[in-house]
Amino acid sequence: MLPWSAELAGRLDHHVVDSALLRGNPLGDPHERPLLVYTPPGYDDEPDRRYPALYVLLGYTGHVAMWLNRAPFRQPFPELADAVFTRADVPPAIVVYVDAWTSLGGSQYLDSPGTGPYHSYLRDEIVPWVDEHYRTIPDRDHRAITGKSSGGYGAMVSAMLAPDVFGALATHAGDALFDVGVRRSFPELARRLRNMYDGSYDKFLADFRGRPAGTKEGDLELLEIYAYAAAYSADEDGTVRLPFDDTGAVVPEVWRRWQALDPVVMAGEPRNAEALRSMRAIWVDAGDRDEYFLDFGAVAFHRAVRAAGVPDERVHFELFDAGHGAIEYRYPLALAWLAHRLS
Amino acid sequence: MLPWSAELAGRLDHHVVDSALLRGNPLGDPHERPLLVYTPPGYDDEPDRRYPALYVLLGYTGHVAMWLNRAPFRQPFPELADAVFTRADVPPAIVVYVDAWTSLGGSQYLDSPGTGPYHSYLRDEIVPWVDEHYRTIPDRDHRAITGKSSGGYGAMVSAMLAPDVFGALATHAGDALFDVGVRRSFPELARRLRNMYDGSYDKFLADFRGRPAGTKEGDLELLEIYAYAAAYSADEDGTVRLPFDDTGAVVPEVWRRWQALDPVVMAGEPRNAEALRSMRAIWVDAGDRDEYFLDFGAVAFHRAVRAAGVPDERVHFELFDAGHGAIEYRYPLALAWLAHRLS
Amino acid sequence: MLPWSAELAGRLDHHVVDSALLRGNPLGDPHERPLLVYTPPGYDDEPDRRYPALYVLLGYTGHVAMWLNRAPFRQPFPELADAVFTRADVPPAIVVYVDAWTSLGGSQYLDSPGTGPYHSYLRDEIVPWVDEHYRTIPDRDHRAITGKSSGGYGAMVSAMLAPDVFGALATHAGDALFDVGVRRSFPELARRLRNMYDGSYDKFLADFRGRPAGTKEGDLELLEIYAYAAAYSADEDGTVRLPFDDTGAVVPEVWRRWQALDPVVMAGEPRNAEALRSMRAIWVDAGDRDEYFLDFGAVAFHRAVRAAGVPDERVHFELFDAGHGAIEYRYPLALAWLAHRLS
Amino acid sequence: MLPWSAELAGRLDHHVVDSALLRGNPLGDPHERPLLVYTPPGYDDEPDRRYPALYVLLGYTGHVAMWLNRAPFRQPFPELADAVFTRADVPPAIVVYVDAWTSLGGSQYLDSPGTGPYHSYLRDEIVPWVDEHYRTIPDRDHRAITGKSSGGYGAMVSAMLAPDVFGALATHAGDALFDVGVRRSFPELARRLRNMYDGSYDKFLADFRGRPAGTKEGDLELLEIYAYAAAYSADEDGTVRLPFDDTGAVVPEVWRRWQALDPVVMAGEPRNAEALRSMRAIWVDAGDRDEYFLDFGAVAFHRAVRAAGVPDERVHFELFDAGHGAIEYRYPLALAWLAHRLS
C-alpha cells in the first residue's frame, strides 16, 4: 500500500546474472550482478506474444537496487513505468533495469581498463540473457535504451557504439558537451584538493575510504570526477589519468580522451553519425536550470543529431522548467513515446 | 551482496499491524501500518532469553519502508544496527522500526485532531504488539526510544509523555527550541506564500497536490510547517492553525500551542521533569553546523535535562562536526550505548 | 564630468558642526561633525524665499562623506536629488545630509548611554543650526525626515519622538518588525561566536579591531548587532546588553528593550500614534525580496500607521521588485513626493 | 578627520589630462581624463630630488574618482599608500592613479577598436605628462605598474607590452589563465541571455541602459564579459565578437583572440618573456578562495614568469587567505616592496 509499496499491474522480476566479462575487473567489483526485468500487464496471458524491450540505465552513484528507493510524496520509477503500461494507449513493452555500478560510483557504461568492460557486458551478456529468458522481439529495431544524467550518457553512447543492438534512445539531462559542463567543475576540485588534501587524489581517496562517506565537503564531487576519469582516461594498466592539473586547467592529452567520448563529439564521427541515422527514435530533454548545464549538452546533442541527418520526425527535443534533480516524472513520457515508436 | 543488499547477522521481520486507533483518522491515512522488528543474532538459539527493546523513529517525510533505501557509499541504518549487535561488547537487543507517517509527511508522534492519535498508537498498540510477539523484557526499564530530527523530537516527547512505557531515549538533532530553530523559517515561508500563492496555504496545497512534488521551490518547506501545525496546533475539528501571519510574525495564541510542545519547554513542566529524572539513559547530540540550528535545540534540551535533576552519569551530550544531513553513522553509537544502559 | 563627477544645478555646502551634546560621548567619537546642506537651483536668486527642509539619514555603517561615493553605472544620491529639483513640477526644497555615525557603525539616531545622544543632537543642534544658517521655513510642517535601512528607522523614530520638529517622513526598507527581521539573525551570530570566538563578543571585538575589517566571515554581521545593542539596550553606565544568549535565543529582558524601540511597536503607543496622525505625509516602501525581510517591516509599519488613524491620502505604501541593495533610485521618488506635500 | 576624511602626510593632486589619442574613441567616452598624482612627504622640501613613480590601475568598473570612496571601517587606498610613505624604512615615491574607464566599465588597459587606445594613452600620454609635471626619475628602471583584478591584468600586460616604459609590476588577483577563470562564467551567461533576453546581447544592453543599473540579476556579469570582449575581440570596425555561443561553449576563433591576450599565454611569447626578464621586480599574489579563481591565474603567471627566466630573487609570490573582495590591505605591501626595489 502507498506510500510504503505499490502493487504493480505488471511484474518485476529480480535476477542475478553472472557476468564472465566482469570477472577479474580492475576494481574488484562483483561479477554477479542484479538485474530487474519488468513484464507488462498481460504478458503471462499471451504466451506467444513478443514485446519490444526498453533498457533503463542509472545515473552516477546509482545501482539497480536504488530503483526501489522510496522518496517523499513521489513513487519510484518502476511504479511510474508500470502505470504507463496500464494505459490503453501505450503498447506493452518489457523494461530492463541494468546495473553497471562500480565501487567508484559508476562505469559510464563504457569498456575501460580503469573499471571494466561494462559496455560489452551490457551488449554481449545482458541483452542476450534477456532475449533468452523473456519473450522479446530480439532485434535492434525493437530495443531502446534510456537513462538520466550518466544514464542518459550511457544511452547516447551505447546507441552509437552498438547500433546493431539498440535502435532507439532517450536521454534525460545526459552528460554531454563536456567543454561546457563537467570542465567547469575542475577549478573547484583543484582548489579542494589543494586546500584539503595537499593536491593529491590519493590522499583524498585514502581519507574518503577511511570514514563515513559524505562527511566532508566535496566528497562526492571529487569522487565523481575520479570515476569519470577511470571510465574515460585510464591507461591500459588501469592507471587513472586526471583531466585537470593543479591550477584547474585541463591536461590537453587527457582532455582529448575525454572529448573523444563526449556524445556531442562522437556524433560528429561518420560511423556514429550513421548509427544515429539508423535510430528509429531519439528523445533528448533536460531541465533549463540544470546545475551541471546539461541543458546545453541536450541542445548540442540535438544539433549533432540533426547534423548527422536524423529526420526531425524521429526526434523529440525539449527543455523544461527544472534543475537536475527530481525529474523522474519525465522518464515515463519518454517510455510511452518509445513504446509507440518501437511497436 | 553489497552495495545492493546485505546479509544480516540478525533477522528483520516485516509485519503489518492493524491499528484500531488510526481507523478513521482525519487525513484518511491507512490504519494498517507496516512495522519492522529486528531480532539480534542468537535470538532463535536461546528461546527463553528476553531482550531489551529499542524503538526507532523516522524524521519528517519518512515512512518505515524508507529505512531500506540504499544510499551511495553508505549502508542503510538497519544494516548498521545489525553490525552493532555482531560486536561481542554490545548486549543484544530487539530493534523496532515504527511507522507514523501521514500524508502530510509526518505526525510528530503526537495525538492531534489534525492528523490522528499517533502517540497513543505507538504507546497502546505498537508496544503491546511487540511485547506480545517478541521476547522482550516487557517493562519501561528495558525500553528505549530514539530518532533523528522529527524522530528525535518523537523520542523526547514520547519519553516525557509516557515514562511508564519508555525508560531511556536518544535524540539526534531532534526538533527543539522552537523559538530559535523553526521560527526562523516563517518569514521565508510567508514570503513564498505571498509571492507564489497569493498568501494562501490552500492555494499552495491545491497546487502541490496537482503536480509532481518538489517541482517548485519551497514545496517541502511549506508542506513541512503545515504538517507541524497539523500536529501542534490543530483545533478539535481538525482545522489547522498556522503559527505565522502574512508578515512572517508568530501568531501568539498559536505559537503558545507550539511552544507547549517544544521539548525544551515541556522539560520545565514538573510532570515531565519527573519523567526525565526517571530515565535510565538520555543521549543528546547534533551537528554543530545543523542547518535548522538544532545544535542549539540539543544544547537547550541538555540544559533542561540537567535542570530537571537528571544525574550527569545518565546523560551523553555531544556536538559533532556536521550539518543536518548524512549523520546516520551517529545512530549506532547511541544504539550501542543504550543497549548497555538497558542491560 | 560623469562618471567622475557631476555639476549640480543647485549647491551642496560642506560644513562642520561642533556638537556640545556629543562632547564626551561614551565611544569617544568626534563631536565635530560634518554636515552637507543642499540648496536647490534658484536659492541664491531669490534671497527672501524660504524653503521646506528634507533631512536625509544614512543606513548602518554609513557616514555623511559616503554620500559622495561613486558607484559603477549609477550616480550618488545627492546628484539624483539635485536632478529632482531641476524638474519644473517639483517644488524646491533644502536637503540636509545628517551624520550620526559612530565607531560601531551607527547610532540608530537614538539617545543611548551606549553611543551618545544622537537623537538630541539631531533635534536640538542640527535642525536649529540649519534653520539659523539657511532660509528654511522653520517649522515642523515644513520639515521631513527620510532614510533607508537604519536611516529609514531613524526617520520613523525621529518623527515619532519629535513630532514638534518633523511633520513628514519617508522610510525605504527601514528597520522594523524586529521579531521577524533582525531576530532571525541571532542563531547565526551565536553560532559564529561559539565556533570562532569562544562565544565571547569581547574576543570578537578585540580580534576585529586588531586586523583589517571584513577579513573574517561574519565581521559586519557581528558588529552590526553589537551596534544595535549599544543603541537599544545599553545600561546607564554604558554596558551593552546583548539581545541573544549562547543558544541564539532572545534574552527576554533585553529583547523587551529592543521591542520598545521597534517602530511597529512604538506606533502602538498613544503618544506615538498621535505623532503619526500629525504627520502631513508618510512614505513607506521596501523591496519584496529584501534579505533582511524589511518588506514585512514596511507592511507592518504601514498597518500600524493606519491603525494609528492616519488618513490613507497622506500615505504612500509600495513594495517593489528588489532586494535590500541598489535601491537608491527609490529615494528621489519619495523626495519629489515629500517636496509636494510640504509645499 | 576619520572616518570622513584624512589628512595626508604627502599631497594628492587632481588633474585633468586632455588625451589626443582618446579623441573620437569608438564608445564616445570623454577624452579629458582625471588623473591623481601623489607626492610623498618631503617632496616640496627637496626641490632637486627626483623619485621613482608607481602607476596604479583600477579593476573593472573602476574609475579614478572611486579611489576616494570611503568604506566602513577601512580607509581608501590613497590614504593607506600615504601611510606607507610616512614610514622611515620606505623610500619615497610618486604614486600615479590612472583612469582608463569606459562606458562599458573598463578598457583592460589595451588598445582596441572596440573601446579605444587605452594602452597607448597610458604609455604615450600619461607617463610623459607625469614626467613633465613631476620630478620623476624618468626612465623605465624607476617606473612600476600595479593593480588589482583587471588592474592587475593591466599591470601584467602593460609591463610586457611596454618594457621600455615600465621596469617593475605588481598584480593582486589579476585576470589570468582565462581558460580556468573567466571561461567558467560563460555557461551561466549564455543561460541568462537565453532565459531573460532571447539569447541576445543587444536586447540585454538595450534593457540595461533603459533602467537603473543592477536592478536585474546578472547585470554586471553580463556587462563585464561584453566589456572584455570589446577589449579583447573587437573587429577593426568596432564590432564586438563574443567568446561564447548559445550553449556557453567558446567560439574557437574568438577564444584564440582572448587567449592571445591572457597574461599566462603572453608570457610564453619570446618577446614578452624577454620583457619579463628585464623587470627589476615582480609581485604576484591572490586570495586562495578567489571567487574568480584568480589564485590559479596567479600560480600560472608566476610559473610563466619563472619559465621566462626571471630570477627568483626578483619575484614575490604569495597566496593568502581571502576571496576576491576586501583585499586592498594587500596593495600597500606591494607598494613598499616596489619602492625598495626601484630605489
Cα-Cα end-to-end distance for chain C: 32
3-state secondary structure C56-79: EECCCCCCHHHHHCCECCECCHHH
C250-265 exposure pattern, b = at least 16 Cβ within 10 A, e = fewer: bbeebbebbbebbbbb
Q: Name the one residue in this structure whose C-alpha cell is 544514464.
A: A151
Q: d(Cα B228, Cα B113) in Å, to the nearest integer? A: 12
Q: What is the dihedral of CA A293, A294, A299, A304, to 10 degrees?
A: 120
- The predicted structure's pLDDT at residue B42: 96
β-strand pairing of A53-57 with A143-148: parallel
- 195-234 in B: which are within 8 Å (CB) of C? 195
Cα-Cα end-to-end distance for chain D: 32
Residues belonging to chain B: 343
Cell of C136: 528654511
Strand order, beta sheet including D168-172: D11-18, D32-39, D94-97, D53-57, D143-148, D168-172, D281-287, D315-320
Q: Name the one residue in this structure whose C-alpha cell is 525529474.
A: A327
Q: Which residues contact D323 (CB under 8 A, 6 or more apart)?
A: D287, D289, D290, D291
Q: d(Cα B63, Cα B56) in Å, to the nearest integer? A: 12
Nearest partner of B125 among B51, B30, B17, B23, judged by Cα: B17
Contacts of C31 in chain D (CB under 8 A): none
Is residue C85 a contact partner of residue C92, using CB atoms and an 8 Å limit?
Answer: yes
Query: Mean pLDDT across chain C, nearest whole number?
Result: 97
Q: Do chains B and D touch (3 or more CB pairs under 8 A)?
A: no
Query: Would an 8 Å CB–CB cutoff place B70 in contact with chain A?
Result: yes
Please tell me the distance in Å from C301's CA to the nearest CA on chain D.
25
Q: d(Cα D120, Cα D209) in Å, to the nearest integer? A: 29
Q: d(Cα D289, Cα D320) in Å, to the nearest integer? A: 9
Residue C71's DSSP bridge partners are C74
Residue A32's DSSP bridge partners are A18
Partner-chain contact D180 A195, CB within 8 Å: no
- The pLDDT tens digits along chain A (343 residues) read 999 999 999 999 999 999 999 999 999 999 999 999 999 999 999 999 999 999 999 999 999 999 999 999 999 999 999 999 999 999 999 999 999 999 999 999 999 999 999 999 999 999 999 999 999 999 999 999 999 999 999 999 999 999 999 999 999 999 999 999 999 999 999 999 999 999 999 999 999 999 999 999 999 999 999 999 999 999 999 999 999 999 999 999 999 999 999 999 999 999 999 999 999 999 999 999 999 999 999 999 999 999 999 999 999 999 999 999 999 999 999 999 999 999 8
Cell of A148: 538520466
Q: d(Cα D133, Cα D135) in Å, to the nearest integer? A: 7
Residue A115, helix vs strand vs coil: coil
Closest residue in D to A300 (Cα) is: D247
- The predicted structure's pLDDT at residue D255: 98
User: Hey, what CATH class is A11-176+262-342 in?
Assistant: alpha beta
Query: Would an 8 Å CB–CB cutoff place D99 in contact with chain C?
Result: yes
Closest residue in D to C69 (Cα) is: D69
Nearest partner of C177 among C259, C244, C117, judged by Cα: C259
Phi, psi of D62 (to 5 degrees): -85, 140
DSSP-assigned letter for residue A199? T
Query: Would an 8 Å CB–CB cutoff place D190 in contact with chain A?
Result: yes
Q: Which residues contact A42 (CB under 8 A, 6 or more apart)?
A: A49, A92
For chain A, the chains sharing at least 3 beta-carbon pairs closer than 8 angstroms are B, D
Is residue D56 a contact partner of residue D37, using CB atoms and an 8 Å limit?
Answer: no
How far is Cα of residue B114 from the mean position of the Cα atoms in its chain? 18
Q: Establish how many alpha carbons lie within 13 A of residue B73's alpha carbon, considering only the half-sphere containing its beta carbon.
A: 20
Model's pTM, two decimal places?
0.97
Determine the residue type at C124: D
Nearest partner of B167 among B316, B314, B332, judged by Cα: B314
Q: Name the one residue in this structure whose C-alpha cell is 594628492.
A: D12
- 18-47 in A: which are within 8 Å (CB) of B? 30, 32, 34
Please tell me the distance in Å from A247's CA to the nearest CA on chain D.
5
Task: Assign residue A269 a region (left: φ > 0; alpha: ψ between -120 and 50; beta: otherwise).
Answer: beta
Q: Which residues contact A281 (CB under 8 A, 6 or more apart)?
A: A144, A168, A169, A314, A315, A316, A337, A338, A341, A342
Please tell me the distance in Å from D103's CA to the nearest CA on chain A.
30
- The predicted structure's pLDDT at residue D294: 98
Phi, psi of D5 (to 5 degrees): -165, 175
Q: Angle at the Cα of A219 (from A213 to A220), degrees rounded to 5?
A: 95
Cα-Cα end-to-end distance for chain A: 32
Query: Would an 8 Å CB–CB cutoff place D270 in contact with chain C?
Result: no
C243 preceded by a cis bond (ω within 30 of 0): no
Residue C237: exposure state from Cβ atoms within 10 A (0-12, 13-18, ≥19): exposed
Contacts of B190 in chain C (CB under 8 A): 296
For the stretch C46-51, contacts whose Cβ atoms lie closer than 8 Å and that sit 24 or more positions apart, written own/partner, are C47/C135, C48/C135, C49/C135, C50/C135, C50/C136, C50/C137, C51/C92, C51/C93, C51/C94, C51/C134, C51/C135, C51/C136, C51/C137, C51/C142
Which tens digit of pLDDT belongs to each residue from B82-118? Answer: 999 999 999 999 999 999 999 999 999 999 999 999 9
Determine the residue type at A36: L
Is residue B276 a contact partner of residue B131, using CB atoms and an 8 Å limit?
Answer: no
The H or E element that residue B254 is part of is: helix B252-259
Contacts of C5 in chain D (CB under 8 A): 65
- The predicted structure's pLDDT at residue C271: 98
pLDDT more than 90, % of chain B: 99
Is residue C183 a contact partner of residue C250, using CB atoms and an 8 Å limit?
Answer: yes
Contacts of B32 in chain A (CB under 8 A): 1
Partner-chain contact D72 C322, CB within 8 Å: no
Confidence of residue B200 (pLDDT cuts 50, 70, 90): very high
Please tell me the distance in Å from A274's CA to the nearest CA on chain B.
37
Residue C220, helix vs strand vs coil: helix
- The predicted structure's pLDDT at residue A73: 94
Q: d(Cα D74, Cα D76) in Å, to the nearest integer? A: 7
- The predicted structure's pLDDT at residue C48: 96
Contacts of A180 in chain D (CB under 8 A): 186-187, 247-249
User: Where, residue-wise, is CATH 3.40.50.1820 in chain B?
Assistant: 11-176+262-342
Query: Would an 8 Å CB–CB cutoff place B191 in contact with chain C?
Result: yes
Partner-chain contact C74 D212, CB within 8 Å: yes
Phi, psi of D36 (to 5 degrees): -110, 130
- The predicted structure's pLDDT at residue C67: 98
Partner-chain contact B190 C295, CB within 8 Å: no
Cell of C99: 551624520
Query: Would an 8 Å CB–CB cutoff place B1 in contact with chain A?
Result: yes
- The pLDDT tens digits along chain D (343 residues) read 899 999 999 999 999 999 999 999 999 999 999 999 999 999 999 999 999 999 999 999 999 999 999 999 999 999 999 999 999 999 999 999 999 999 999 999 999 999 999 999 999 999 999 999 999 999 999 999 999 999 999 999 999 999 999 999 999 999 999 999 999 999 999 999 999 999 999 999 999 999 999 999 999 999 999 999 999 999 999 999 999 999 999 999 999 999 999 999 999 999 999 999 999 999 999 999 999 999 999 999 999 999 999 999 999 999 999 999 999 999 999 999 999 999 8
Q: d(Cα A60, Cα A72) in Å, to the nearest integer? A: 21
Around Cβ B28, how many Cβ atoms within 10 Å?
A: 10
Q: Which residues contact C70 (CB under 8 A, 6 or more apart)?
A: C3, C4, C76, D63, D65, D66, D69
pLDDT lower than 70: segments of chain C? none
Is residue A116 a contact partner of residue A29, using CB atoms and an 8 Å limit?
Answer: yes
Partner-chain contact C74 D329, CB within 8 Å: no
Partner-chain contact C322 D215, CB within 8 Å: yes
- The predicted structure's pLDDT at residue D204: 98
Cell of D175: 585576470
CA-based max dimension of chain B: 63
β-strand pairing of C116-117 with A168-172: unpaired
Residue D74's DSSP bridge partners are D71
Written as one string, the DSSP assignment of D281-315 is: EEEEEEETT-TT-HHHHHHHHHHHHHHTT--GGGE
DSSP-assigned letter for residue C114? T
Closest residue in B to A63 (Cα) is: B4
Nearest to C64 among D4, D68, D214 (CB): D4
- The predicted structure's pLDDT at residue D336: 98
Please tell me the distance in Å from A63's CA to the nearest CA on chain B.
7
Determine the residue type at C68: L
Is residue B135 a contact partner of residue B49, using CB atoms and an 8 Å limit?
Answer: yes
CA pseudo-torsion sign C126, C128, C132, C135? positive
Cell of C45: 536668486
Query: Would an 8 Å CB–CB cutoff place C293 in contact with chain B?
Result: yes
Partner-chain contact A101 B3, CB within 8 Å: yes
